[in-house]
Amino acid sequence: MTHAPKTYEVTPGLYISFLITALVTIPGFYFGITHTEIAPQWGSLLFGLAIFGAAFMLSWAAELAQLEMSESLAVAILALVAVLPEYAVDFVFTWKAAHDPGHANNAIANMTGANRLLVGLGWPFILFLYVWVRKKTAVVLDSSQRIEVFYLAAATIYSFTIPLKGSLNLIDTVILVTIFGLYTRRVAQMESTEPELVGPVKIFANLQRGPRIFWTAALFVWSGGVIFFVSEPFAMSLVGMGTIFGISEFKLVQWLAPIASEAPEFIIAATWTMRGAANSAMKALISSKVNQWTLLVGTIPLVYAISGRAIKPFVFNSLQTHELFLTAAQSLFGVAVLLNLRINRMEGSLLLGLFILQFLIEGIRMEVAYIYIAIAIVYHVVERKHLWPAAVGGLGLKKK
């Protein structure tokens, strides 16, 4: 479903904003694609600016795409492209782990760190930014967002089997990728709605449909390409700077590298929240969680098998098992919070507080995981009336 042409007022400042944004992506993209070695401090600056600019361009592409497709599908595509850095970094560690088991810790650390950052830091950040900017007490989600909640719940329930059996294999690949495929198919069925366009995106919205689609694709391709080629050197630049301060490699890979790779979607979500679209911002972060907890986790054993040229499971040690169990438990609590399509200040404080607790005291991973599970069970019992509507929305069933 497409929308009737609508004319937007375009000022010279919008062209200048677009030009500046595009230009700041070029130096980092050039150094990234040519694999030019530069000092960590310069790399952090140039690659960081490139990711920052690409994030804005990606948000414009997602908004333009809403003129041609549903917001849910546009945001799902946005979320997938925005987390390309995470895929790139994690696949590098997974590929190396097939030949050097020492990198297995890094692969799991990077994946679990990115997932927990999204829920424990990203969701509360959007909530409290919205509370501060708009003087609200909660972020209220749209009923269509039950789709994300349902498929995140499905992936979370299955995820508990992974640490229990202590490995990831190609059966997990099939199941998790299938969940992601069903999610994508469902959001593609949603009707499109007229978005409220702000900023340089208005320049392209005024074009005829053919050129507009071309520029939408061009923005997605360019910003995605910048993010893909810049993410790893940006993460490595940050690691290089962090090493100077004596931070352990495990912590750098688990927290510093994901912060860098998650930067685009955080920037996009913050931008939308500042404009009052906190529900869209949350949709983007929840969608990112869905695709990371399905597609990213599911493709790890596939990359591992291809690199090792053998069909064999990615086996975990006790540390990796605890990391995965904690991440699954946090995800279960995240689903419980979203069941009633609201996230308030108390829930945001719980998500942030428990995240900070497990971050500061690594030795209590399992204790924090049990706390997540206990609170999630209470929430599911209290909010049980929302379970069926979530299933109806997620599966596209007809309401009685």
Does the residue 380 lie in any domain?
yes
Whole-Å CA distances, 15 to 10, 41, 195, 200, 335? 8, 31, 20, 7, 41
The predicted-structure confidence for 190-233, as pLDDT tens digits, reads as follows: 765 555 666 788 888 888 888 888 998 899 899 888 888 887 78
Q: What percent of the chain has pLDDT over 90?
A: 40
Does the residue 325 lie in any domain?
yes
Q: What is the mean pLDDT of residues 148-167?
A: 94
Does the residue 97 lie in any domain?
yes
H helices of the chain, in order, are 12-33, 40-65, 71-82, 84-97, 104-117, 123-134, 146-159, 161-165, 170-188, 201-205, 209-244, 249-251, 257-274, 278-291, 297-308, 318-338, 345-360, 365-382, 387-395
Does the residue 349 lie in any domain?
yes
Two tokens, residue 378: 């209470």
Q: Using an 8 Å Cβ cutoff, are 311 and 305 in contact?
A: yes
Does the residue 50 lie in any domain?
yes
Structural domain for 337, as ranges: 12-395
Q: Give 57's pLDDT tier (boundaries 50, 70, 90).
A: confident
Place of tokens 């782990």: 97
- The total number of structural domains in the chain stands at 1
Query: What is the sign, positive or negative, of the torsion defined by CA atoms of 101, 102, 106, 112?
Result: positive
Q: Using an 8 Å Cβ cutoff, are 313 and 301 in contact?
A: yes
Least-confidence region, from 54-58, 80-84, 115-119: 80-84
Higher pLDDT, 89 or 388: 388
CATH code of the domain in which 28 resides:
1.20.1420.30
Q: What percent of the chain has pLDDT over 70?
A: 92
Does the residue 6 lie in any domain?
no
The pLDDT of residue 210 is 87
Higher pLDDT, 244 or 216: 216
Higher pLDDT, 350 or 255: 350
